Amino acid sequence: MNENWIEVGSVDDVPVQGARVVKTEGGDIAIFRTEKDEIFALRDKCPHKGGPLSQGFVHGKKVACPMHNWNINLDSGIAVAPDEGCAARYPIMIKDGNILLSLTPDEGASDN
Amino acid sequence: MKEKLVVIGNGMAGIRAVEELLKIAPDTYEISVFGAEPYGNYNRIMLSPVLAGEKTIDEIMLNDEQWYVDNGITLHKGKEVTEIDRVNRKVISADGTTEEYDRLLIATGSSPFIISVPGHDLEGVVPFRDIQDVNQMLDAASKHKHAVVIGGGLLGLEAANGLKEQGMNVTVVHLMDSLMERQLDQPASAMLKSSLEERGLQFILEAQTEAILGKDRVEKVRFKDGTEIYTDLVVMAVGIRPDFTLAEKAGIHCERGIVVNDTMQTFDPRVYSVGECVQHRGQTYGLVAPLFEMARVCANHLGQHGIGRYEGTVTSTKLKVTGIDLFSAGDFNGDENTESLVFQDAARGVYRKLVVQDNRIKGAVMYGDTIDGAWYFDLMRDETDISDFRDKLLFGQAHLGDSGHGEEHRVISLSDNAEVCGCNGVCKGDIVKAITEKKLFTLEDVRAHTKASSSCGSCTGMVEALLAHTVGGDYSVAPHLKPMCGCTEHSHDVVRESIGKIELKSIPDVMSVLDWDTPDGCPKCRMALNYYLLCAWPGEYQDASQSRFINERAHANIQKDGTYSVIPRMWGGDTTPKELRAIAEVAEKYKVKTVHVTGGQRIALFGLKKDELPAVWNDLNKSGLVSGHAYGKALRTVKTCVGKEWCRFGTQDSTQMGIELEKMTWGCWTPHKFKLAVSGCPRNCAEATIKDMGVVCVDSGYELHVGGNGGIKVRVTDFLCAIKTEEEVKEYCAAFMQLYREKAHYLERTAPWIERVGLTYVKEHIVEDEESRKVLAERFLYSQKFSQDDPWKERAEGSDKHEFEPLKELVADLKAG
Ligand code: SRM
Ligand SMILES: Cc1cc2nc3c(=O)[nH]c(=O)nc-3n(C[C@H](O)[C@H](O)[C@H](O)COP(=O)(O)OP(=O)(O)OC[C@H]3O[C@@H](n4cnc5c(N)ncnc54)[C@H](O)[C@@H]3O)c2cc1C
Ligand code: SF4
Ligand code: FES
């Protein structure tokens, strides 16, 4: 796969248990940082009714959507059962403390 | 190598413990289960509806055989364990199957008690305990006409009703002079008997069975007094006996059951036991709620979390006979130290009795209309002081100022497409379907699967009623103290107390000292902990903004389209041309779509983009406008009327009073939002009597009212006291807010809080005890020192920049899509 990595900022720019937004012409992408300092990227759009996941509440490896409290798994973009749905997930690479993002969503992830 | 866990008994308690264990520590053990019955795990309490033809066996399976496979559990079904070899740590079944164990869980349940009269072993004499018994009864019902049920308790009556539904002619024989004497008092029992008679059941009371007669099959039952009745089937439902023969044979200490401690361990610490087979603190149980609680505690210890103790359970009883409503709990007979409150309407077939001691409910019996059973049961378990509403208690919860919801529990008679949860648009049919298809037992399960009752919560009562009705029996796992959330065993009160006592000062500290089950909690507990810590350690605790809901993190309220609203404070509802001009200018400059006068006497600007917020705040600040905290669990508004300055009826300067109260209280974080109002006379134009605290000015001074609520459940305030001076109003207000801040659970508004702790409690601390009031007020004012910096100003000056700016703006095309 042809990955085109773009540097979007340093890990420290994203608050622990929080998120920041990368604005792209194709829409916002949310970059999350967990309590364990893992970084994930998802389309900033909840599979339920499109709520901005970047404004959600990060706990464990999940984010609770600010709109109606669905929980979305950060590593897969898939909603925690019994809710159903999926937010597209983007590849991330960390290099020297910097976050590199690819704008090609992971395979298998639906982008809606 | 994983340790080996062997479970003896494939019933409700044993498998519940396994389920709980898989939830918290899925990889700890290699698990194998022995079950004497040849099936997966099923819901025993639903055997009654199966017998009555309301359910099928398939519908009551909880875990089918595939579930064991999916979870890597070895199931030895149809194999009865006959020996436990504790020296070599293995168990052996009748057919020789052997499993070694590191830990053993005994959950053998109980056996039906068979009275050993002559003929008890004839064909056609059956107990009522498992699927096989039910099949035998159904078979008999298809071939024969007459049945006798020995035993007029819960099980006996459910069996009798079922057989009746199957077309048999049923006589219930009971040793005592009243039915269900262990659960019902005389009047309720008599009402039950007559309605069962109306349905065609026959009763013979005070009858002692002497023999069962017949050649190949039962033909007659003979009593001590010589009378005989003809029958083709005898169901023995005279009681159960904990099944501990196997354990006893293995040398484990047993009395009336397998003796366990608070961590569900037997005298051999490798061997645990749960369910009807155990004896805990001298008590044995025959209902599922306590067993589920035991299962939780046991799993917790097996999973090596090592916290949580089982401390016994208060149980309540319901009869699963469709069309008959009956409820009982606790000590319903009472003694010389108790009083009884009784309501009886023979014509409507309604009876209620509450046994009360020191203004706490000790027991309840209800017949005919059991809608409030769950409520009484809660009051009983929480030991709520009922003195404030004792006069209305018997009429039920609907009569406690719960306007618009009085009919809620009529839910049972609603049609399937009636909407139960207005917030999430969930209909009755969806809920019932989820409960039956997904085999849900608890309110939390229903919330997770359907979303019903997960938002405003006003339909919780209805959902609980549906649960009770659908799964029957004692549906809910009713822990003595409700845990804060799924991440911990501890209740709100325990956590708060520990924060103070052990001096816990950060969220990670609380979680590690109190053994949280999740690495960093969930929204529920983290938001609550952040508040509790902030309240406990003013000036010292570093607010954890990532543990706040977005609105409080961003100091603005998120809207459905992802924009934000801005509502500046208007002290006591007063404003000036200068402020209005500043608002107008901001509205124009940032092209605000909607400018709205709110229900809280101030002006809201809607539709602002997040990255504009600091600039908007900066502009507002310049004219002295500060955050209105319309987004927070915090002091919101102080609503006032014009009062004596202008109004011909005004008795005091209500506007000025309101402004001063708002200046004193703004910026304060509270368990839920907090609203104040001051009206200039009892005409009450500021609606002070539906606020968390309301002040009504009168000629002689001020009347204080507390615990009001507009919103979802309207509640009128309780009158707290009348006082004379403005200074006193402030002191009482500060003290009341502080008591609420320190004692209420997170997300509990003053109205439900006062209903939980009682107005008397509030009066004791605020009105009757001057010292306590002064100390509370002082603590309030002290903590205000650290919370009255305008959060908008700080952010306009650049703090929390990351919250308002994107990480990066890219112009590149999004590749695939
Ligand atoms: C703006 C306003 C409506 C309006 O246009 O007038 C409003 C708007 C909201 N209310 Fe309200 N309430 C507003 C006055 C009220 C009032 C009237 C009052 O305060 O006198 C009530 C009933 C009185 C009461 O609280 O007892 C009220 C009872 C509620 C409730 C139900 C609370 C309850 O205890 O039952 C909620 C839901 C909640 O808090 O969980 C709620 C929640 C909300 C939320 C926060 C819903 C949300 O989470 O998005 C709305 C936020 C809109 C926003 O972006 O700011 N709002 N809300 C009012 C703002 C007043 C202010 O200046 O701060
Ligand atoms: C008809 C009926 C209606 C009921 N209604 C209600 C109600 O409405 N509400 C309520 O709360 N409770 C009700 N109960 C009681 C409830 O079902 C029991 O409290 C609960 O099932 C007990 O769970 P347990 O796991 O302890 O025992 P069980 O569910 O009986 O499980 C024990 C299992 O262990 C197996 N076993 C025993 N010895 C061995 C051995 N040596 N080797 C292998 N396996 C063995 C048994 O075969 C059995 O399957 C009802 C019970 C019945 C029978
Ligand atoms: S509360 Fe009384 S005094 Fe105040 S405005 Fe209303 S009527 Fe007038
Ligand atoms: S939009 Fe995310 S939960 Fe509804």
With CA atoms as reference, the chain B residue closest to A44 would be B562
Looking at residue B417, its pLDDT comes to 73
Within-domain flag for A86: yes
Provide mean pLDDT across the span B522-530: 96
Q: Is the pLDDT of residue B412 over 70?
A: no
pTM of this prediction? 0.60
Q: Tell me which range, B3-12, B179-188, B456-465, is most confidently predicted by mean pLDDT.
A: B3-12
Looking at residue B311, its pLDDT comes to 86
pLDDT in tens, B339-348: 989 888 877 8
Looking at residue B47, its pLDDT comes to 92
Q: Is the pLDDT of residue B446 over 90?
A: no
Within-domain flag for A56: yes
Closest-CA residue to B602 (of B641, B576, B625, B568): B568
Within-domain flag for A109: no
Cβ–Cβ under 8 Å, residues B511 and B533: no
- Give the burial string for B540-554 (b: 16+ CB within 10 Å, else e): ebeebebbbbbbbbb
Within-domain flag for A42: yes
Residues of A in contact with B526 (CB under 8 A): 57, 59
Ligand closest to the CA atom of residue B290: 2
CA distance B508 to B474: 37
Looking at residue A112, its pLDDT comes to 44
Q: How many CB atoms lie within 10 A of CB B70?
A: 10
Q: Predicted confidence band at B712 (pLDDT cuts at 50, 70, 90)?
A: confident
Looking at residue B472, its pLDDT comes to 59
Domain CATH number, residue A57 = 2.102.10.10
Residues of B in contact with A55 (CB under 8 A): 550, 554, 558, 562
Is A59 a pocket residue for ligand 4 (Cβ < 6 Å)? no
Looking at residue B299, its pLDDT comes to 93
Closest-CA residue to B545 (of B568, B519, B527): B527
Looking at residue B80, its pLDDT comes to 96
pLDDT in tens, B471-501: 754 444 333 467 898 899 888 998 999 999 8
Q: Which atom of ligand 1 is nearest to the CA of B557?
A: 54
Cβ–Cβ under 8 Å, residues B547 and B761: no
Looking at residue B46, its pLDDT comes to 86
Within-domain flag for A111: no
Q: Predicted confidence band at B741 (pLDDT cuts at 50, 70, 90)?
A: very high
Structure tokens at B502: 């052990």
Looking at residue B456, its pLDDT comes to 65
Q: Is the pLDDT of residue B457 over 80?
A: no
Closest-CA residue to B658 (of B629, B691, B695, B689): B695
Structure tokens at B23: 């939830």
Is B698 a pocket residue for ligand 3 (Cβ < 6 Å)? no
C-alpha to C-alpha distances, B430 to B60, B417, B434, B450, nearest whole angstrom: 18, 8, 6, 7
Looking at residue B401, its pLDDT comes to 45
Show the ligand 1 pocket: residues with CB < 6 angstroms. B 557, 559, 565, 567, 596, 598-600, 602, 604, 628, 630, 636-637, 639, 673, 675, 709-712, 749
pLDDT in tens, B310-354: 888 777 777 777 678 888 888 877 788 889 898 888 778 888 899
A67 at B interface, C-beta within 8 A: yes
With CA atoms as reference, the chain A residue closest to B553 would be A55
Provide mean pLDDT across the span A94-100: 94
Q: Predicted confidence band at A3 (pLDDT cuts at 50, 70, 90)?
A: low
Provide mean pLDDT across the span B10-29: 92
Q: How far is the CA of A46 from the centre of ligand 4 (A)?
A: 5
Find the helix packing angle between B654-665 and B770-784, rounded to 10°.
70
Task: Return the percentage of chain B with pLDDT > 70, whole number.
Answer: 95
pLDDT in tens, B625-654: 999 999 999 999 999 999 999 999 999 999
Provide mean pLDDT across the span B56-62: 87
pLDDT in tens, B213-224: 999 899 999 999
Q: Predicted confidence band at B376 (pLDDT cuts at 50, 70, 90)?
A: confident
Of B165-174, B383-392, B603-612, the least confident? B383-392
Within-domain flag for A107: no
More confident residue, A73 or B286: A73
Domain that holds residue A50: 5-102
Residues of B in contact with A56 (CB under 8 A): 550
Backbone φ and ψ for B783, nearest 5 degrees, come out as -70, -25
pLDDT in tens, A16-48: 999 999 999 889 999 999 999 999 999 999 999
pLDDT in tens, A51-73: 999 999 999 999 999 999 999 99
pLDDT in tens, B658-704: 999 999 999 999 999 999 999 999 999 999 999 999 999 999 999 99
The stretches of B2-82 forming alpha helices (DSSP H) are 12-24, 47-51, 65-70
Within-domain flag for A53: yes
Tell me which H or E stretch contains B753: helix B750-757
Q: Predicted confidence band at B136 (pLDDT cuts at 50, 70, 90)?
A: very high
Q: Is the pLDDT of residue B513 over 60?
A: yes
Provide mean pLDDT across the span B159-186: 92
Count structural domains, chain A.
1
Q: Is the pLDDT of residue A1 over 50?
A: no
Residues of A in contact with B807 (CB under 8 A): 8-9, 13-14, 20-22, 31
Within-domain flag for A108: no
